[in-house]
Amino acid sequence: MPDAPPHPEPFTARTSPAELEDLRARLRATRWPDAPEDAGWSLGTDLAHHRELVAHWADGFDWPAQEAALARFPRYRVRLGGLGIHYAHVRADAKAGPVLPLILSHGWPDSFWRYSKVIPLLTDPGAHGADPADAFDVVVPDMPGYGYSDAPTGPPLDSIAVAGLWAELMGVLGYDRFGAAGGDIGSHVSRYLALDHPDRIVAVHRTDAGVPFFAGDRAELSPEERAWFDNAAAWGAAEGAYAAMHRTKPQTAAFGLMDSPAGLAAWIVEKMRAWSDSDGHVERSFTKDEILTNVTLYWLTGTIGSSMRMYGANAAIPPAQLARRVEVPSGFSLFPGDIVRPPRAWLERTANVVHVTEPPRGGHFAAFEEPELYAEELRAFFRPYRPPALD
């Protein structure tokens, strides 16, 4: 008999009191490292800041309230490629008329959480001071091995494979053509959606151009492109130790990060600070409760190891794939606090660029840091590609 077609099932996360008590007990029993006097954040996560954050996690953070807030979105799981995939699916306000379906892809270290602030602004813009005609049907999946999606039991999936799953997911949901957007690993996934499914992607929006790859003679590059390559290499040397660990020995790190919630939070919050438009003060971009919601999702789902393993899979993508040019109409919003922003010349070399902006605020997690700005970026970029232009 042929396999039954994928059938989405409603999903609600429910954390048991025992799980939360175990988490609090571990937090209260944290064995703290020493730190050089006045080290601050120069060697990684600041000790004094982290003690304060962990104390709040143990005795002030209300996870059930955060879990309930995330439950306001209709959420589902569906079996694709042998994996249970979790996603939020929020349809546009019924009064919006024809709408554009949009799939949003997150990165590391986060999950569907990245888009939790922006979903209402995209699905019901009229309620937030924008044009109701700019409404989207929004789909936000957790990548395999992240959040509430299953982790592969064998080799981790790369961004190409995940793009294939997302194309299948949108078909299951009845969307033949749609827009794609994302940042970080989600930018890679959105790129491969446009590369491998150009008949279905009306346009693709990204907040970065990924790690630069060029197989030709660097003399062919513009001065701005060569400077970007040099800056990216310098950033990797100064800030890329985490990625080297993820690519090469993620399982070693996973033992400690799975066992110590304080260690897990240190691994994640240092990146939330460094990659956001926070000017070195992470609480300028995220409240303590927002930071801890992201970290608690990793803790309760046990996905830090599986999320890191995707780096190795992506590092093994053949150079020929990395060199492909996106011909689907492409837009980029380059937020000022993000990691090593690409020059326009590189964007045009690698994609059919129709739209580039430089918003005034926001960083790597722009959809969460500046949801209003991010929502307006998507509305403006996708406006020419809305129905009835799909017909």
Q: Which of 146, 364, 374, 385 is catalytic?
A: 364
Q: Which of 184, 208, 277, 338 is catalytic?
A: 184
Report pLDDT digits (tens) over 118-157.
999 999 999 999 999 999 999 999 999 999 999 999 999 9
Instruction: Report how far residue 207's alpha carbon sits from residue 370's, in angstroms, rounded to the nearest whole number.
Output: 13
Domain boundaries, the chain: 10-26+38-385
Side-chain half-sphere CA neighbours of 209 within 13 A: 30
pLDDT band at 2; cut points 50, 70, 90: low
The answer on pLDDT for 389 being more than 50 is no
Q: Which of 76, 148, 298, 311 is catalytic?
A: 311
Tell me what the mean pLDDT of segment 319-324 comes to. Answer: 94
Report pLDDT digits (tens) over 170-212.
999 999 999 999 999 999 999 999 999 999 999 999 999 998 8
Mean pLDDT of the chain: 95
Question: Strand pairing partners for 88?
Answer: 75, 140
Instruction: Report how far residue 348's alpha carbon sits from residue 326's, in angstroms, rounded to the nearest whole number.
Output: 10
Strand order across the 75-80 sheet: 9-10, 75-80, 83-90, 136-141, 100-105, 178-182, 201-206, 326-333, 351-357
Instruction: Report how far residue 131's alpha carbon sits from residue 134's, in angstroms, rounded to the nearest whole number.
Output: 6
Is 131 considered catalytic here?
no
pLDDT band at 215; cut points 50, 70, 90: confident
Question: Strand pairing partners for 205?
Answer: 181, 331
Helix 223-239 × helix 241-248 angle, to 10°:
80
Tell me what the mean pLDDT of segment 283-295 comes to. Answer: 97
The answer regarding whether domain 10-26+38-385 maps to CATH 3.10.129.10 reads: no
Name the residue type at position 320. A
The answer on pLDDT for 11 being more than 80 is yes
Percentage of the chain beyond pLDDT 90 is 93
Radius of gyration of the chain, Cα coordinates, nearest whole angstrom = 21
Of 247, 82, 248, nearest to 149 by C-alpha is 82
pLDDT band at 390; cut points 50, 70, 90: very low
pLDDT (0 to 100) of residue 98: 84
The phi and psi torsions of 43 (rounded to 5 degrees) equal -105, 5
Is 364 considered catalytic here?
yes
SS (H, E, C) the chain: CCCCCCCCEECCCCCCHHHHHHHHHHHHCCCCCCCCCCCCCCCCCCHHHHHHHHHHHHHCCCHHHHHHHHCCCCEEEEEECCEEEEEEEECCCHHHCCCEEEEEECCCCCCHHHHCCCHHHHHCHHHHCCCHHHCEEEEEECCCCCCCCCCCCCCCCCHHHHHHHHHHHHHHCCCCCEEEEECCHHHHHHHHHHHHCCCCEEEEEECCCCCCCCCCCHHHCCHHHHHHHHHHHHHHHHHCHHHHHHHHCHHHHHHHHHHCHHHHHHHHHHHHHHHCCCCCCHHHCCCHHHHHHHHHHHHHHCCHHHHHHHHHHHHCCCHHHHCCCEEEEEEEECCCECCCCCCHHHHHHHEEEEEEECCCCCECCHHHHCHHHHHHHHHHHHHHHCCCCCC
Instruction: Report how far residue 170's alpha carbon sits from residue 43's, in angstroms, rounded to the nearest whole number.
Output: 43
Question: Strand pairing partners for 339?
Answer: none
Token pair recorded at residue 84: 């249970």
Instruction: Report how far residue 168's alpha carbon sits from residue 322's, in angstroms, rounded to the nearest whole number.
Output: 22
